[in-house]
Amino acid sequence: MRVLIVEDDGALAGALAIMLRSRGDEPIVARSGREALDLLASVETDIVILDLGLPDMDGAAVLEQVRAWSAVPVVVLSARHDAAQKVRALDLGANDYVTKPFNVDELLARMRAATRGADAAPDRRVVTTAAFSIDLARRVVMREGAEVAVTPTEWRLLELLAREPGVVVERERLLDSLRGPSVPHSSHYLRVYVQQLRAKLEPAPGTPRHLVTVAGVGYRLDV
């Protein structure tokens, strides 16, 4: 079983990884919310252990974004004992909530319960608009029943927008995701890639309905 551990405490994350590996599981560690979202979009994962106190964003925000496109089981592991925090996490889609300090056997039992029947759960890693769909797990874009060929750079841009539908993604974040030896760090090139995607995906690229510019801020994928 592949387990994504989202935990900024290196000692705890390492201990969990060692324990899971000894049981034959495959642990992956993310030390921030953004790293967790990137891994979930690119790596098949069976269950997530999610800390709420992350350095870059609240774990509840990570959970909310994940639930927009994935049904992967999530067990929250947090030092927050407040009942309101537990209720909020469960309402956002967590399968269970375990407080620190925790008993390892109890955590494993709750993980087993969370994954029970997960194979029958619908896969929501497909983001669908009125014009096209984005399968984040298979890295496939479909329009009018046909697969659309996108370049690796176009995919990275589209993937980042699709992970947060309806949310404005800042230019700087998008540029960071595109950064590479062949991609200049310039807003001009970002506009070029967005225009290329619009030409491939929007029914009317000149008046886009889905790949929307938010002036002075960035871009948003409207579904």
Q: Do residues 13 and 85 both lie within one domain?
A: yes
Gyration radius of the chain's alpha carbons = 19
Residue 33 has pLDDT above 50, yes or no: yes
Domain span including residue 190: 126-221
- Specify the pTM: 0.61
Q: Do residues 217 and 139 both lie within one domain?
A: yes
Q: Do residues 112 and 135 both lie within one domain?
A: no
State how many domains the chain has: 2
Q: Check if the beta carbon of residue 73 is closer than 8 Å to that of residue 47.
A: yes
Among the residue ranges 20-24, 81-85, 174-178, 207-211, the one predicted with the least confidence is 174-178
Q: Do residues 115 and 178 both lie within one domain?
A: no
Q: Which of 120, 154, 175 is the last residue of a domain?
A: 120
| Distance of alpha carbon 130 from alpha carbon 63, whole angstroms | 25
Q: Do residues 142 and 208 both lie within one domain?
A: yes
Q: Do residues 171 and 204 both lie within one domain?
A: yes
Q: What is the mean pLDDT of the chain?
A: 88
Q: Do residues 207 and 110 both lie within one domain?
A: no
Q: What is the pLDDT at residue 182?
A: 46
Considering Cα of 102, then 105, then 106, then 109, what sign does the dihedral take?
Answer: positive
Q: Do residues 113 and 169 both lie within one domain?
A: no
